[in-house]
Structure 1
Amino acid sequence: MNQLPPAAALPGPATVSSRPLRVIVGLSGASGAAIGLRVLERLAASGRVETHLVVSRAAERTLAAEVGPDALARALALANVHHDHCDIGASIASGSFPVAGMIVAPCSMHTLCAIAYGQLGNLLVRAADVQLKERRRLVLIARESPLHLGHLRAMAQVTEYGAIVAPPVPAFYLRPPDIAAIIDQIALRAIGLLGLGLDEIAPLAWQGEMETDLAATAGE
Structure 2
Amino acid sequence: MKKIVVAITGASGTIYGLRLLKALKANPAVQTHLIMTKWAWENLAIEHTGYTKQGVLDLADEVYNERNMGAAVASGSFLHDGMVIVPASMKTIASIATGMGDTLVGRAADVTLKERRPLLIVPRESPFNQIHLENMLKLSKMGVEIIPPIPAFYNNPQTIDDIINHNTMKLLDHLHIENQLSQRWQGINQAHQS
TM range, smaller chain: over 0.9
For the residues of structure 1 that align with 2:154 and 2:36, how far apart are their CA atoms?
Answer: 32
| Corresponding residue of 2:174 | 193
Using the size of structure 2 for normalisation, the TM-score is: 0.95
For the residues of structure 1 that align with 2:179 and 2:133, how far apart are their CA atoms?
Answer: 34
| Corresponding residue of 1:50 | 31
> Are the equivalent residues in 1 in contact too, given 2:166–2:181 (CA < 8 A)?
no
| Corresponding residue of 1:15 | none
For the residues of structure 1 that align with 2:51 and 2:17, how far apart are their CA atoms?
Answer: 14
For the residues of structure 1 that align with 2:174 and 2:181, how far apart are their CA atoms?
Answer: 10
Say which of 94, 114, 121 aligns to 2:102. 121
Which sections of structure 1, spanning at least 5 residues, go unmatched?
Answer: 1-19
Using the size of structure 1 for normalisation, the TM-score is: 0.84
Q: What is the DSSP-based 3-state SS (H/G/I as helix, E as strand, rest coil) of the residue aligned with 1:39?
A: helix
> Are the equivalent residues in 2 in contact too, given 1:34–1:67 (CA < 8 A)?
no
Shift of residue 68 of structure 1? 4.3
1:91-102 equivalences under 5 Å are: 91-102=72-83
For the residues of structure 2 that align with 1:200 and 1:159, how far apart are their CA atoms?
Answer: 25
| Corresponding residue of 1:79 | 60
Q: What is the DSSP-based 3-state SS (H/G/I as helix, E as strand, rest coil) of the residue aligned with 1:173?
A: coil
> Are the equivalent residues in 2 in contact too, given 1:106–1:142 (CA < 8 A)?
yes
> Are the equivalent residues in 2 in contact too, given 1:33–1:67 (CA < 8 A)?
no
Shift of residue 36 of structure 1? 0.3
Report how many aligned residue pairs link the two structures: 194
Which sections of structure 2, spanning at least 5 residues, go unmatched?
Answer: none
| Corresponding residue of 2:186 | 207
Moved more, 181-190 or 37-46: 181-190
Higher gyration radius (CA): 1
> Are the equivalent residues in 1 in contact too, given 2:165–2:181 (CA < 8 A)?
no
Identity %: 38
Shift of residue 73 of structure 1? 2.2
Say which of 41, 54, 63 aligns to 1:60. 41
For the residues of structure 1 that align with 2:123 and 2:38, how far apart are their CA atoms?
Answer: 18
For the residues of structure 2 that align with 1:72 and 1:189, how far apart are their CA atoms?
Answer: 26
> Are the equivalent residues in 1 in contact too, given 2:15–2:49 (CA < 8 A)?
no
For the residues of structure 1 that align with 2:157 and 2:191, how far apart are their CA atoms?
Answer: 24
Find out whether 1:216 has 2:192 as its counterpart. Answer: yes
The one-letter amino acid paired with 1:194 is: L
Shift of residue 216 of structure 1? 1.8
* Structure with higher helix content: 1
The one-letter amino acid paired with 2:193 is: T
